[in-house]
């Protein structure tokens, strides 16, 4: 048919979008315990790996614009999870640093990936398939970032 390419069932983007939303929904009970959102969880994971990062670096890792991440960081600062301050070396840069509360959440969050993985493994895919899916999505993301 002339318009088959416009059918939802023929789109690559829809299953990726739906899977992302559904996986995020599975995270929600765990994140509710920590009183954070999924985007806040992503920021915290970045800072738990390397604390004191410029806003631009966090935005780049999350593949977001700084004007998207700034309101998120402001809310996190209000919650007492992070501090934001101008760099002493370069006043144009804003450095984000974990607070004690933000750091303490790491211990509470440590089991979240394992819990989510066990939920996913109850489904039709095994560990190897999930790893391959993550790698394949990484290839797509890297390709699209180069454009």
CATH of residue 52's domain is: 1.10.10.10
pLDDT tens by residue, the chain, 147 residues = 789 999 999 999 999 999 999 999 999 999 999 999 999 999 999 999 999 999 999 999 999 999 999 999 999 999 999 999 999 899 899 999 999 999 999 999 999 999 999 999 999 999 999 999 999 999 999 999 997
Task: Please report whether residue 123 resides in a domain.
Answer: no
Sign of CA dihedral 99, 101, 104, 106: negative
Whether 20 is covered by a domain: the verdict is no
Please state, in angstroms and rounded to a whole number, the distance separating the CA atoms of residues 58 and 46.
7
Q: Would you say residue 29 lies in a domain?
A: no
Expressed as residue numbers, the domain containing 61 is: 36-103
Within a domain: residue 22?
Answer: no
CA atoms in the 13 A half-sphere facing the CB of 125:
12
């Amino acid at each position: 048919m002339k318009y088959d390419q416009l059918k939802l069932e023929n789109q690559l983007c829809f299953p990726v979008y739906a899977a992302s939303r559904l996986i995020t929904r599975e995270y929600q009970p765990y994140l509710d315990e920590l009183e954070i959102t999924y985007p806040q969880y992503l920021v915290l994971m970045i800072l738990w790996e390397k604390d004191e990062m410029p806003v631009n670096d966090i935005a780049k890792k999350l593949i977001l614009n700084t004007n998207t991440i700034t309101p998120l960081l402001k809310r996190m600062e209000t919650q007492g999870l992070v501090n934001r301050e101008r760099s002493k070396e370069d006043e144009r840069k804003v450095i984000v640093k974990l607070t004690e509360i933000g750091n303490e959440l790491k211990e509470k969050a440590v089991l979240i990936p394992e819990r989510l993985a066990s939920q996913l493994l109850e489904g039709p895919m095994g560990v190897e398939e999930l790893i391959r899916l993550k790698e394949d999505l990484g290839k797509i993301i890297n390709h699209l970032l180069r454009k």
